[in-house]
Amino acid sequence: MVNSLLNTAYRPQPDKLGLVTAKQTIHVPGRRKIRLTVLVSTLAVGGAEQLLLEFLRHIDISRFQPGVLFLKDPGVMGKEVLALGYPYEANLIPNRFDLTGTLRVSKRLTTWNTDVLLLINHRDTLFHGVVAAKIAGVPTIVNWANETNRKYNHHRLTMVVRQICHLGMDRVVAAAVGHRDYLVRSEKIPFHKIVTIYNGVDPDAFRSSMTRQEARQKMGIEAKAPVVSIIAALRPDKAHHVFLRAARIILRSFPDARFLIVGDGPERDRLVKLSRELSIDDSVHFLGMRRDLRDILAAVDVNTLSSNPEQETLSVAALEAMSAGVPMVATDVGFMKEIVISGKTGFLANSGDPWDLAEKVILLLRDPKLRMEMGGESKNLVKARFSVATMVSAFQELFMECACPGD
């Protein structure tokens, strides 16, 4: 549908929750493409990085001309972005305090005749991006915020700098309604600057052709064994130790259960060691970073999230599992309650409490009918409100409104 609207401009129409969802179109003959530059630091493996990749995969190139600037090395996910074929430059500012690098960014923004600069919410990206855009005279600066309660080194100073940077921005995109309120309350961003655009995933990307039995056979798991997963980078804020301690509790009720840890990161060795100390290593499978999530999720009964309150906002991995029809048990952090509707699409558990997490998982493992009902509700919710098509359409409307305010 988007590609057919070649001569159409969009105006965002926020609903009563502040979500950009509805469209109003007007005819604009012969409009040129909007030049969109995305500025990132580096793209390691993570939910925010996956969102950007999906955004760039689905953006309407008949209306927009994207380019990507990396302050540092592109990173693992950055290489997938490069494969999309958009113009890019990397290693513009290898050192965070290299102010000459700010001028290099500004020069590139000028050369690309940038209409809209989209910042990905990294600390160095905000500072260098806003300054560079002001020097280059970029008409519109948008920040895609994606973190909550993050603690920085020199935290107070960092938050002051962030507030100053936000003064120079035109719009800030929040990932959830609660996230919008958090940005107003904690980061002092004016309410009128914030637009809520939910994170989105591609439901079709997680529809496996494998049966449950085939998926389990592929991973060497018995067909009748209960399977519980967690999909998250192996970082301290994801609190995988809570998941592992919950796994030990679950094994008391389901001795044949299997636990899949999908993701990689600096905590891997420590977590492998912990699984041995808990004497559950025979039941735990560290799968690393995987691109065959659809087939892994086909084998899963319950997906979990054990995150601490720091950083988590609205988990992309949770949406991916839900789009595959897998119910969630997630810690009540960030704004997960906006997707994990307790008793409908899954259950919320107390942060840092392996017993509560285990209890909710056991409840689902004991009730196949409830799992099926919640899985169906999860799939329907993602399709209705959290698809990548909805997310990208909302961003495009925002950019059109910013770049063409009088249309």
Report whether pLDDT(48) > 70: yes
- Kindly state whether residues 147 and 246 are assigned to the same domain: no
* Residue of 244, 209, 234, 222 lying closest to 324 (CA atoms): 209
pTM of the complete model: 0.86
Residues 129, 253 within the same domain: no
CATH code of 73's domain:
3.40.50.2000
How far is residue 392's CA from residue 176's CA, in Å, rounded to a whole number? 15
Instruction: Give residue 311's pLDDT band: very low, low, confident or very high (50, 70, 90).
Output: confident
Q: Are 262 and 160 members of one domain? A: no
| pLDDT tens-place string over residues 143-185 | 999 888 777 777 777 778 788 888 889 999 999 999 999 999 9
**Cβ-based neighbours of 312, under 8 Å, separated by 6 or more:** 148, 237, 238, 305, 333, 334, 336
User: Is 283 found in the same domain as 169?
Assistant: no
Q: Classify residue 332 as exposed, middle or buried by CB count within 10 Å of its CB (0-12, 13-18, 19+).
A: middle
Is residue 260 within 8 A of residue 300, CB to CB? The reply is: yes
- For residues 2 and 73, what is the distance between their CA atoms, to the nearest angstrom? 33
- Note whether 87 and 167 are same-domain residues: yes
Element (H, E) at 47: helix 47-58
Q: What is the mean pLDDT of residues 260-270?
A: 96
Determine the Cα–Cα distance for residues 261 and 15; give it in Å rounded to an integer.
38
Same domain, 170 and 250: no
Q: Which domain holds residue 167?
A: 2-200+387-403
Q: Do residues 151 and 22 both lie within one domain?
A: yes
Query: Are 160 and 264 in a shared domain?
Result: no
170 in the same domain as 254: no
Same domain, 376 and 399: no
Mean pLDDT of 310-328: 94
Per-residue confidence band for 20, with pLDDT thresholds at 50, 70 and 90 = very low
Residue 279: how many CB atoms within 10 A of its CB? Answer: 10
At 115 the three-state DSSP class reads: coil
- Helices (H), ranges, 205-267: 212-219, 240-253
The count of domains in the chain is 2
